Chain A
């Protein structure tokens, strides 16, 4: 699969997960890896990039198990980006399923 394409999908997934609730890095990785094949090392560069783009902010929160964890919180800009990306993704899915079910003439 095209790397840029995969990055775009990962972006969409992360934004979707953060719309649900604030999460920390490993939690995001856990949910992602349960559902799609994701390379563990690429998560943090991706999170850094989205953070720099202003799609979410970060804060530290105490954890019961050890040092405080870094939590990611989505911003309005992130929500907008999510809207655009999910729309594109749905259009893409529709297009693909049309082709697969022979919906084109």
Chain B
């Protein structure tokens, strides 16, 4: 047997030992081979004198077991418990991740649709801001979840190890700081704030446009229409203009009047405004 074969066999049989112990044992034998060779012995001779690497490994492993408290039962319970909770938590997080991504995509499409719908520049700004806002918030949440998954896994590992009475292993599980994440978070937060500002600008512009564009008299007339048809608990009462009429008759008269009004409004303001002033209010 060569040194390489011996070391490989030893390593294979040390499975179950923790990484530190394993490395230390292998280094001890590396050193032994080195010193043996310096004394003029061949690898073959040293291997033969050392004996079966499997037996050496067994001896070392049996020592470790004597020192560690025997709690295989707890180990299995902890592992199964950990696996169940862990898989549940991970599936939960992943499903949230997917729904957030889906929300972001639908948000993009919805906002693009709204942006093409609006003709006014301020409204476009508002719509685009909404897109940026939705996407950045969703990305923040998604990144948070992605970062959370390994933390959850580590947490459960630590819990399993501490239940397993292996504090040195629990300690070995350390959290790493990823600076790039913080950078992306800051960038997205800035984007989110900027988009909120954009939406406020857009909203103010929208309100100003409504006030400037429409005649206040037209809006009053519309309000009167609506007031008339909703008084007297849903009964149509138009004594002043139409006299006392049956319900169906009054309805027809009113619908014609309303249509004329809506046509006027459409000529004046365009198609979108007809929807705004017209049928929405006389629908039901």
Chain A positions near chain B (C-beta within 8 angstroms): 24-27, 29-30, 39-42, 44-45, 47-49, 52, 65-67, 69-70
Verify A44–B38 contact, CB threshold 8 A.
no
Verify B50–A40 contact, CB threshold 8 A.
yes
Verify B34–A44 contact, CB threshold 8 A.
no
Q: How far is the CB of A10 from chain B (nearest CB, A)?
A: 13
A41–B33 Cα gap in the complex (Å)? Answer: 12
Verify A70–B63 contact, CB threshold 8 A.
no
Verify B31–A41 contact, CB threshold 8 A.
no
Verify A66–B34 contact, CB threshold 8 A.
yes
> Which residues on the B side are within 8 Å of A48 (C-beta)?
24-25, 28, 60, 63
Q: How far is the CB of B232 from chain A (nearest CB, A)?
A: 96
The contact of B35 among A26, A44, A45, A52, by CB within 8 Å, is: A26
Interface size class of B (residues with CB under 8 A): 20 to 34
Q: How far is the CB of B214 from chain A (nearest CB, A)?
A: 87
> Which residues on the B side are within 8 Å of A49 (C-beta)?
63
Verify A70–B56 contact, CB threshold 8 A.
no
Verify A26–B36 contact, CB threshold 8 A.
yes
A24–B56 Cα gap in the complex (Å)? Answer: 19
Q: Within B15-64, which residues are at the interface with A (CB < 8 Å)?
A: 24-25, 27-29, 31-32, 34-36, 38-39, 46, 49-52, 55-56, 59-60, 63
A65–B52 Cα gap in the complex (Å)? Answer: 28
Q: Quick one: given A48-B25, A65-B38, are A25 and B32 in contact (CB under 8 Å)?
A: yes
A66–B36 Cα gap in the complex (Å)? Answer: 13
| 3 tightest A-B CB contacts, nearest first | A26-B35, A41-B51, A40-B49
Verify A45–B59 contact, CB threshold 8 A.
yes
Verify B32–A39 contact, CB threshold 8 A.
no
Chain A residue with Cβ nearest B63: A49
